A and B are shown apart, each in its own frame.
Chain A
């Protein structure tokens, strides 16, 4: 049994269908990358898993239980946290308050606390009393990651955490991933940067137009296969 899996997952925005029967799975301790062009459905998939979009109960299963029709806060409480696309820090909250909001209303136990997150991203400790949105893009991304980790999730969903950041900053952000893995979280990482995705992940799913077009271990997929799955080359 996988830790997290989707079964024939579909998603709609009004009349527009964004996902057409997506099946992915995430094993305990694994990091899975989801790649694909803009509009391939990657973010929709993340929004479906995290409960922002509601699905059929059985279309998403976590730890063997159906969670497809739960609300975002219920899914969060079960142990699936998300770093949303565009970071979405709370502008009225300071850096530290943004981090603290990740544990709202609950006692959480585990590796991650304000202290361990400040150890991982020391700059955040210096800036702890600044408004979250006064930070640079990379620092804001660190806050967004820290905020999701504060709940000590079993699954961390990272939606385009490199978007809009300079390459050197992206490197800093991704340097944190091994620590997150070591602390016991399994990850789903959505990336447009294929090189980055292959480097960080065990397995890769490639999506196009709301479907999975390629799946395989990160170290065996050929560039050509990815290219075709990404742009629909051979199939088209």
Chain B
């Protein structure tokens, strides 16, 4: 029974990793941009929520609702004024720019908030639990997992059921031809990054309520996100959720065997999947 519990905890943790990864997957899927600052943007959003919580005395959930449109604007402006300038046939400039952005964000947060670790306290919900199937499950992990499912369902609906989603896919296929059809690729890219920042805000909310964070934890979140995206197969959002779950389960099972193995077990699971299926579990595109 302890194993079932461990695995379920891992699955729920996978929801958090899927939230880390969904924004990354969205941006990569549409513009082949690897945003190395993705993890730091999550941490940045967490500090933004923290700031709203401490300044206005709000609950983290309300603060996240206020932070979301701000992050949307940050994403739009970042893409429109910085990243669009470096997108092109050469993949190196966007990597360098987002790497630089990652360093700048970490140091700015360090300057502004010090290296002390912080937490979003949400009162009872952090420790609340429910009995389900004979197991004691935390409300917060359940909420995180449900949010991840909702985000992925929502993004899938957006992609496959809306006019904007059609434009996303068309621009991803062929930006020049999309332009000929009246689509402005720069605007599509800015919208995509802005939407990714909404998901980032949600990820930041759960990250901050679940554990302590400080300005330097961004890159590790980026790695988990990356691994989830790659395990799932590039371009598949459900695959990203599966990837998050695999890493989450590997980490909790690893930790159950020996607490020192938690992080290592996640990375090993990633390597094993890569060995068996180099293109991920559910690859969408052939490129």
Contacts and interface: CB of A to CB of B under 8 A. Distances in A.
B183 A104 contact: yes
B170 interface: yes
B179 A147 contact: no
Nearest to A96: B166
Contacts of A102: 181-182
A92 interface: yes
Tier of interface size on chain A: 20 to 34
Contacts of A103: 182
Nearest to A92: B169
Nearest to B160: A97
Contacts, number: 73
Interface string A27-61: 00000000000000000000000111000000000
A151 interface: yes
Contacts of A106: 182
B177 A88 contact: yes
B285 to A, nearest CB: 8
A101 B163 CA distance: 8
Most buried by A among B166, B169, B178: B166
A89 B97 CA distance: 32
B32 interface: no
B36 interface: no
Given A100-B163, A105-B163, A76 B180 contact: yes
Given A90-B170, A91-B173, A93-B173, A101 B180 contact: no
B222 interface: no
Interface residues of B, number: 18
Contact of B166 (A71, A82, A100, A151): A100
Most buried by A among B174, B177, B181, B183: B181
Contacts of A50: 180
Given A100-B166, A101-B167, A104-B163, A90 B174 contact: yes
Given A92-B169, A93-B169, A97-B166, A104 B174 contact: no
Interface string B29-55: 000000000000000000000000000
A68 interface: no
Contacts of A97: 166, 169
A105 B173 contact: no
A211 B166 CA distance: 39
Given A52-B176, A88-B174, A105 B182 contact: yes
B98 interface: no
Contacts of A72: 176, 179-180
A90 B169 contact: yes
8 contacts: A52-B180, A72-B180, A73-B180, A93-B169, A97-B169, A102-B181, A103-B182, A104-B163
Interface of B: 163, 166-167, 169-170, 172-174, 176-184, 285
Given A82-B180, A104-B163, A105-B167, 17 more contacts: A51-B180, A73-B181, A73-B184, A76-B179, A84-B177, A90-B173, A90-B177, A92-B172, A92-B173, A93-B169, A93-B170, A100-B166, A101-B178, A101-B181, A101-B183, A104-B167, A151-B181
